[in-house]
Amino acid sequence: MTRVVVTGAAGFIGSNIVKGLNARGITDIIAVDDMTQGDKFRNLVDLQIADYVDADEFYAIFADGGFGKVEAVFHDGACSDTMEQDGKYMMDNNYGLSCGLYEACQDRGTRLLYASSAAVYGGSATFRETPEFERPLNVYGYSKLLFDQRMRRECGGDFKRMKSQVTGFRYFNVYGPREQHKGRMASVAFHQFNQLRERGLVKLFGEYGGYGPGEQTRDFVFVDDVVAVNLWFFDHPEKSGIFNLGTGRAQPFNDVAVAVVNALKGGGVPDAASAVQQGLLEYIAFPDALRGKYQCYTQADLTALRAAGCDHQFADVAAGVLKYLQVLSTVA
């Protein structure tokens, strides 16, 4: 039986990966997380795992071989709050623990598939997996970039030299089920779903960074697509490297708002201007706390992903948000 580890297993992406593994019949899963925020248990309650281990205990036990033969670690445990200002905590959690885990995986012949982030690009206008475009705007982005840099150094620029598979995924703006515990860091689709149900309208940032109201543009990727790409690499242990994981299709926040409105109202709203006219969309002033720290545009360059042989087709905002809100409507 295949044994795998998922760190951050009670979190958003981690729990969806557990779900994806379960759909393949894989249940010998060591789930690792910090359950201080107790309501995260809801992300695991309908899933099948072999054991749960607290994050404070896992890394030392794994390094000592305490879990026996482990085929792969899906490392999605991290502090993902881009507003977190405690740099020591961020670096210890996102960089230090990851370095130790990498070393243990290489020693034990375990494959490592880990979460990086599109935040490594920061203020860049080009989103390609090469150093000249990596300009993080916050310590979160830097913590992710530093680990990517460590992996490049470890393999001398050629990931084929790794003893076992090491694959990093630069997640863009992921949305979908099982993110309800994330609070302010949950996706705009999640917040707008709740706004529309509670207040009858959705809100977006107004003009900022040379973009009109709601026109800041991101690469929004549905979590089911993120899981599919993770599992494609799980199926291809010979493929290593750092890869963007987004749709390759930038869309404005206005598109998300229109998709949310149409999903809940049954359609009939063609664009953001119509949503505003109908009182379903409102723009608010851009917050001072985010000025200079906000990516107004992201779009994954998928050249490396396609060159690796992964031809997964990604949902656009309209299709992904509709599927997501159908799930949210059944559990809300």
In the numeric block, the tokens 């295949």 are attached to 2
Longest dimension (CA), the chain: 62
In the chain the beta strands, taken as DSSP E runs, fall at 4-7, 29-33, 51-54, 72-75, 111-117, 166-171, 173-175, 202-205, 217-218, 220-222, 241-245, 251-252, 281-284
Give SS3 for 198: helix
Catalytic-labelled residue, pool 52, 182, 203, 211: 182
Catalytic-labelled residue, pool 102, 114, 121, 140: 140
| 182 is known as an active-site residue | yes
User: In 42-118, which ranges are continuous DSSP H helix?
Assistant: 55-63, 87-91, 97-108
In the numeric block, the tokens 């703006």 are attached to 173
Sequence length of the chain is: 332
| 59 is known as an active-site residue | no
Q: Which two tokens stand for residue 293?
A: 């720290």
Q: Angle CA(10)–CA(227)–CA(53) in degrees, nearest 5? A: 25
Q: Which residues are catalytic?
A: 140, 182
